[in-house]
Amino acid sequence: MSETLSTTARPAATPPPSPPGSSSRSLAIARLRDLALVPAIIAVAIVGSIVSPVFLSTDNIINVLQSMSEIAIVVLAQTIVLITGKMDLSLESTFGLAPGIAAWLVVDPALTRGLGLDVLPDAWAVPVVLLVGALVGAFNGLLIVRFGLNGFIVTLGMLIVLRGLLTGISGGQTFFMLPESMTYLGSATWVGVPASIWLSLLLFAAGIVVLGYTRAGRALYAIGGNADAARAAGIRTDRVLWLALIVASVLAALAGLLISGRLAAVPSAQGSGAIFQVFAAAVIGGVSLNGGKGSVFGAFTGVLLLFMIINVLTLAGVPAQWTNFLNGTVILVALVVSRITGGKAQT
């Protein structure tokens, strides 16, 4: 029926003007946007293998993947929030606070010079970590979604409050003697590869599917692109936003659990300052700070590129005092590169 209609109706209608200029080209670029960093990653790999033969060894690749696995999960969390057009600075504090609270509640003070309360059995540690994440996300949502406060300022406040809370309960010390349930995920090895690598790759794969192929995931893009239009399309924007903030905080808490497990300790400064690297990785990976644009795969390439470059610099024997300077330079250079390959200003 539609066939006949379109053939009969078309001659009557004047064809609309061809879309302005370069739409077919921008279409191709939009598709390639996801892969924009792949050439850069290959280039760094080549440079790395020239700098040091160790670079492409299995051990070093696993080393790079493990060192980035925790931050990568926070990048995934931030990507989810950024796509909705919000931002969550407090993720870095949740990253430290969630395992910190769990350790505080389960660690025996007799063994740790008075740190901890030992009020919960060890088995509760992991559920507590995730619960703290969920509560932080829910509270962020309460202030941002329900009370309509500015997300940047709310999560900046939360960043300071949560960090302060961790410092308070730990007295500025480091929790140690963690129960095995807390250290397992961060230290176990599955099929010869650390569990944290498996987990981060799995979570990214899940993120690609959820954000690319489910209505809930597409709702994130719709809200970030035009919240009014999303509402008009019947999307429950408030609920989706709230959920995105909770999922992001839970992911950050899980990432914190992994690094605590790897180090078998929760320092009171765990995650402090990490949010800048997280933002940089997401933006380099093509996620827009204005919302509505970016992909989970892109974010993954962003964080991978950052950590590969850091690894190459380490292998090249760059003194540790210069690491921060080079880190910042890498971020700026990566932005310029993605501006050139993407053809559009990063926002």
Partner 1 sequence: MSPLPQRSTDGLVGADQPVVEAVHITKRFGSTVALADAGIVVRRGETHALVGRNGAGKSTLVSILTGLQAADNGAVAFAGRPAPPLGDRDGWRKRVACVYQKSTIIGTLTVAENLFLNRHARGRGGLIRWSRLRRAAEQLLAEWSVEVDVRQPASTLSVEQRQFVEIARALSFGARFIILDEPTAQLDAAGINRLFARIRELRAQGVTFLFISHHLQEIYEICDQVTVFRDARHIVTAPVAQLSRSALVAAMTGEDVTMPEADHRPLPADAPVLLSVRDLVTASGAELSVEVRAGEVVGIAGGGGSGKVEVAEAMVGLARPAGGTVVVDGRALRPGSVPDALDAGVGLVPQDRHREGLVPLLSIAENVTMTVPDRIGRRGLISPARRDALARDTIADLAIKAAGPRVPVADLSGGNQQKVVMGRALASDPKLLVLITPTAGVDVRSKQTLLGVVEEVRGRGTSVLVVSDELDDLRICDRVLVMFQGRVVREMAHGWSDNDLVAAMEGVDLHHV
Q: For residues 223 and 85, is the Cβ–Cβ distance under 8 A?
A: yes
Question: What is the maximum alpha-carbon separation in the chain?
Answer: 87
Site for partner 1 contains 345 (CB under 8 A): no
Block residue for tokens 């790897």: 262
Among 205, 206, 229, 332, binds partner 1 (CB under 8 A): 229
Distances in Å between the Cα of 78 and the Cα atoms of 13, 317, 345 are 47, 32, 20
Structure tokens at 145: 């979604």
Site for partner 1 contains 206 (CB under 8 A): no
CB closer to partner 1 out of 10 and 113: 10
Instruction: Please tell me the chain's helix, strand, coil percentages from 3-state DSSP, rounded to the nearest 5.
Output: 70, 0, 25
Among 213, 273, 319, 347, binds partner 1 (CB under 8 A): 213
Among 111, 205, 209, 316, binds partner 1 (CB under 8 A): 209
CB closer to partner 1 out of 6 and 189: 6
Q: For residues 286 and 341, is the Cβ–Cβ distance under 8 A?
A: no
Among 119, 191, 228, 320, binds partner 1 (CB under 8 A): 228
Site for partner 1 contains 205 (CB under 8 A): no
CB closer to partner 1 out of 14 and 321: 14
DSSP 235: -
* Beta carbon of residue 175, minimum distance to partner 1 (angstroms, whole number): 41
Site for partner 1 contains 167 (CB under 8 A): no
Site for partner 1 contains 347 (CB under 8 A): no
Site for partner 1 contains 214 (CB under 8 A): yes
DSSP 344: S
Site for partner 1 contains 336 (CB under 8 A): no
Block residue for tokens 């397992």: 184
Site for partner 1 contains 30 (CB under 8 A): yes
* Beta carbon of residue 22, minimum distance to partner 1 (angstroms, whole number): 9
Beta strand 193-194 with 189-190 is: antiparallel
* Beta carbon of residue 246, minimum distance to partner 1 (angstroms, whole number): 20
Site for partner 1 contains 163 (CB under 8 A): no
**Measured between alpha carbons, how far is 168 from 24 in angstroms, rounded to an integer?**
57
Structure tokens at 150: 């500015």
Between the two ends of the chain, the Cα-to-Cα distance in Å is: 45
**Measured between alpha carbons, how far is 335 from 347 in angstroms, rounded to an integer?**
10
Q: Is 175 helix (H, G, I), strand (E, B) or coil?
A: strand
Among 174, 218, 314, 342, binds partner 1 (CB under 8 A): 218
Name the residues that contact partner 1, by CB under 8 A: 1-2, 5-6, 9-10, 12-17, 19-20, 23-24, 26-27, 30, 209, 212-215, 218-219, 221-222, 224-226, 228-230, 232-235, 288, 292-293
